Structure 1
Amino acid sequence: MSQSAAAAAPAAVEVTAQDLKGHGVVFCPNPKMKLWSGHPRVFIDVASTGEGKCPYCGTVYKLAPGTVLHGH
């Protein structure tokens, strides 16, 4: 992978059960993102497959290894 391709790759965010809202979703942009990089808030299901990708910015949200989801 070239250096420019690595720089252009979307960020990956590891989430735990405590980060999930409602029925196993996270929202993007997340509170740690800079305000200037904002886009409309979208809810991304990570409980079903263990990860999800934001359709706007490409950020990938992944469940942390060993995360146990109750009631999912």
Structure 2
Amino acid sequence: MADHKIPHFQNDAGHASIEIGVKEFMCVGANPPFDHPHEFLDMGSDSEKVCPYCSTLYKYNPALHGDDTLPAGCSWAYAAA
């Protein structure tokens, strides 16, 4: 079992891309009824990843921390890994 928490992100406003400060995360789509199955995404050595469900482009920004996002407010919550 992982010893860290995985941030969950949602895109209620329908932004084409969201900058985040982590490379491993979950995408949940948006608030119900526009959510989708929680999709674990790992950028690996890349700096971007597209969610296969909602097509949100996530971009890694090392200046951000934890659940910070640009644009602000796209963060959902942390859940135990």
Match of 2:33, SS state, is: helix
Aligned residues: 51
* TM-score between the two structures when normalised by the length of structure 1: 0.55
Return 5+ residue gaps in structure 2 as ranges.
Answer: 1-13, 65-81
**Mapped contact 1:46–1:61 kept (Cα < 8 A):** no
* TM-score between the two structures when normalised by the length of structure 2: 0.50
Distance 1:15 1:47, change over 3 A: farther
Larger C-alpha radius of gyration, 1 or 2?
1
Distance 1:36 1:11, change over 3 A: farther
Between the aligned partners of 2:62 and 2:42, the Cα distance in structure 1 is 17
Is 1:11 matched up with 2:11?
Answer: no
Match of 1:37, SS state, is: coil
Amino-acid identity (%)? 33
Between the aligned partners of 2:33 and 2:53, the Cα distance in structure 1 is 14
Q: Which runs of 4+ in 1 moved over 3 A?
A: none
Select the structure with the greater relative contact order (CA < 8 A; seq sep ≥ 6).
Answer: 2
Is 1:44 matched up with 2:49?
Answer: no
